[in-house]
Amino acid sequence: MKKAGLIFLSALFCMSSFIAGCSLAPEYKRPDSPVSDSWPKGEAYKGIESVNAKMPASDIKWKDFLVNDQLQKVVELSLKNNRDLRVAALNIEKTRALYQIQRSELFPNVKSTASKFTQGLPETLSGVKDDSVTTQYTFNVGISSYELDMFGRIASLKDKALEQYLATEQARSSAQISLVAEVTAEWLTLAADHERLKLAKDTLKAQQETYDMIKRRFEVGASSELDLRQVQTRVEAAKIDIARYTGKVAQDENALILLVGSPVPADLMPSELGTIESKSGALKDVKAGLSSDVLLKRPDILSAENQLKAANANIGAARAAFFPKISITGTYGVASGQLSDLFSSSQAWTFSPQISVPIFDGGLNQANLEAAEADQKIAVAKYEKTIQTAFREVADALAQRGTVDDQMKAQKSFLEATSESYRLSDARYKSGIDSYLNVLDAQRSLYSAQQSMIDVRLQKLSNMVTLYKVLGGGAVD
């Protein structure tokens, strides 16, 4: 009897390792890509056709992409303190725990109990002359309702939980990519607004000097009041821009601090955009490569595929519900009137298998299966849409990449022309040939061209950040 009980318990404990239930989940096959194998071609993408990336952006560490030391430190601060990224990391811990909970159902839940039972009976009930007191000690080891996963229901649910956990990990990587890109873009925007503010201050200084000069000329009758009032409008316009960009710089700083999740030291704040560009630059250039297959490394696409695999596994669990469920309950224990004799006294065991066969459920199992199949089709559509969105994002970035250099070249030429126009207009006015109105128009054009040049330079840097992001760069630490 003793050997039989021990053999029984050992068999129950190891049963999960020897019973391999068949999986009823459909065989997973990655859906065909719903986008072209190559990037778009055309006038906007000139030069892109010949680009062949030796290293995908997804393999370039963000510290290698961000050349500027100040910017690197700011991004590093954000990775430590940003609350959205912290929530994403905590979601990973949560889904890991949920996966462990689901996985635990593959194994028997073995419990042991020990008890002491004491009973006192009066003479009238005990059947003996004196009152009696009896004591009993018991110790049991048992398994309660352990389901043998003959048809893979529990294994399918475990696979589903695993894929959801992996999807959450990819979501965290995607959140890091977005954070690196957003912090970098905001830092560069702040640098550009610093330069716009400096330009406005320099313009005010120059306009104030012109105003003072024309005022003196007006006082001696060499210039008209119209000239004086016209130059005054440029002075006031410059003051308006100074106030506007001063507020914009403060707002940029607030936005950067929110993204970082903590105060940013003053020595890590950027200077003017031109100063950053004139030193070592800010960013390393990245290439898209020739094939759109690089998109499959993007964390958001990998996450969508994990969700698709989870939905696929859920179909297996829904199918298994149509088949019988076999569960086992068993115990093995000892009992004795003396604690010292507990493990050398009477032994007992129970074995209670149970089979449950679905006969009529009002269509519940069929409805669950149909819902699982619909979820799987939805997951396929979401996976395909994620790829299509990623393709569009890269294509847009490449279109800007293929035209921004031409835009910058034209803007530089335009700036040189407006600068020379202003010089000539000013010289003609001082020579008494033209009115100050021509100088005023030339000043406006020059100031606008200078502002636009800042915009184009920022646009080029922002495009580099966007291209790095949409190609999946920034997840590797």
The 10s digit of each residue's pLDDT in 122-177 is 666 555 566 566 777 787 787 777 777 778 888 888 888 989 999 999 999 999 99
What gap in Å lies between CA 439 and CA 422, rounded to an integer? 6
Residue 25 structure tokens: 């989940």
Range of the domain at 125: 1-22+108-148+324-357
Tell whether 382 and 285 lie within a shared domain: yes
CA 469 to CA 467: how far, in whole Å? 5
The reply to whether 347 falls in a domain is yes
CB atoms under 10 Å from CB of 453, counted, come to 18
**Measured in Å, how far apart are the chain's first and last C-alpha atoms?**
61
In-domain check, residue 56: yes
Question: 456-476: per-residue pLDDT in tens?
Answer: 999 999 999 999 999 998 877
Report the distance separating Cα 170 and Cα 177, nearest Å. Answer: 11
**Position 16 confidence tier, pLDDT thresholds 50, 70, 90:** very low
Give how many domains the chain has, as a whole number: 2
Residue that wins the pLDDT comparison between 289 and 268 = 268
Q: 121 and 176: one domain?
A: no
366 occurs within a structural domain: no
Q: Give the per-residue pLDDT at 1.
A: 43
More confident residue, 339 or 413: 413
Cα→Cα distances 130→118, 124, 126, 338, 470, Å: 17, 9, 8, 21, 89
The CATH number covering residue 128 comes to 2.20.200.10
Region 341-354: mean pLDDT is 72
> What pLDDT score does 115 carry?
80
Same structural domain, 173 and 218 = yes
User: What is residue 388's predicted lDDT score, i.e. its pLDDT?
Assistant: 95
Specify whether 284 is located in the same domain as 142.
Answer: no
| Nearest partner of 118 among 347, 349, 339, judged by Cα | 339
Q: What is the mean pLDDT of residues 283-291?
A: 78
DSSP codes joined into one string, 344-404: GSEEEEEEEEEEE-----TTHHHHHHHHHHHHHHHHHHHHHHHHHHHHHHHHHHHHHHHHH
Query: What H or E segment, with its residue span, contains residue 35?
Result: none
Distance CA 301, CA 445 (A): 47
What value does the mean pLDDT of the chain take? Answer: 85
Q: 116 by DSSP, 3-state: which?
A: strand
| 166 and 226, same domain (yes or no) | yes
CA distance linking residue 350 with residue 46, whole number of Å: 79
Whether 135 and 278 map to the same domain: the answer is: no
Task: Give me 74's structure tokens.
Answer: 């700011």
Tens digits of per-residue pLDDT, 54-65?
677 888 899 999
- Is residue 340 in some structural domain? yes
Q: How confident is the model at residue 53 (pLDDT cuts 50, 70, 90)?
A: low
What's the rounded Cα separation, in Å, for the pair 472 and 393? 11
* CATH code assigned at 66: 1.20.1600.10
171-213 pLDDT tens trace: 999 999 999 999 999 999 999 999 999 999 999 998 898 888 8
What is the tens place of the pLDDT at every residue in 359-378?
Answer: 888 889 899 999 999 999 99
231 and 140 in a common domain: no
Quickly tell me which residue has 């009930």 as its tokens: 125
Mean pLDDT of 33-46: 86
| CA-based R_g, the chain, Å | 38
Tokens, residue 96:
């890991």
Residue 430: what pLDDT?
Answer: 80
Based on the fold, state whether residues 407 and 291 are members of the same structural domain.
yes
Mean pLDDT, rounded, for 304-330? 89
Buried/exposed 140-153: b ≥16 CB within 10 Å, e otherwise: bbbbeebbbbebbb
pLDDT digits (tens, 9 = 90+) for 438-457: 888 899 999 999 999 999 99
Measure the CA–CA gap between 21 and 151, rounded to whole angstroms.
5
Q: Report the alpha-carbon distance of residue 419 to residue 404 in Å, rounded.
A: 22
Percent of the chain with pLDDT over 90: 42
Is residue 367 in some structural domain? no
What integer pLDDT is reported at residue 355 of this predicted model?
83
Q: What pLDDT sits at residue 97? A: 86
* Helix segments in 261-363, DSSP class H: 273-278, 299-320
- Which tokens sit at 435? 């009115």
Give the pair of three-digit tokens for residue 475: 């997840």
Residue 10 scores a pLDDT above 60 = no
For residue 96, is it within any domain?
yes
Instruction: Let me know whether 62 and 130 are in one domain.
Output: no
Per-residue pLDDT at 195 = 95
**What is the pLDDT, as a whole number, of residue 168?**
92
Rounded to whole angstroms, the Cα distance separating 203 from 126 reads: 111
How do residues 216-227 score in pLDDT, each as one tens digit?
888 888 778 888
Q: What is the pLDDT of residue 3?
A: 53
Residue 123: inside a domain? yes
What pLDDT sits at residue 282? 81
Question: Does any domain span residue 477?
Answer: no
Take residue 404 and report the two structure tokens written for it. 């921004």
The pLDDT of residue 323 is 85
Closest CA to 75 of 62, 58, 87: 62
Q: Is the pLDDT of residue 352 over 80?
A: no
Are 229 and 272 contained in the same domain?
yes
Percentage of the chain exceeding pLDDT 70: 87
**Does the pLDDT at position 19 exceed 70?**
no
Of 433 and 366, more confident: 366
Name the residue with higher pLDDT: 238 or 336.
Answer: 238
Same domain, 397 and 420: yes
pLDDT tens per residue, range 395-431: 999 999 889 999 999 999 999 999 999 999 888 888 8
What angle do the packed helices 436-470 and 153-219 form, to 10 degrees? 170
Is residue 17 scored above 50 in pLDDT? Answer: no
Residues 300 and 178 in one domain: yes
Q: What is the pLDDT of residue 47?
A: 66
- Let me know: does 324 contact 287? Beta carbons within 8 Å: no
What whole-number distance in Å separates Cα of residue 477 and Cα of residue 475?
A: 6
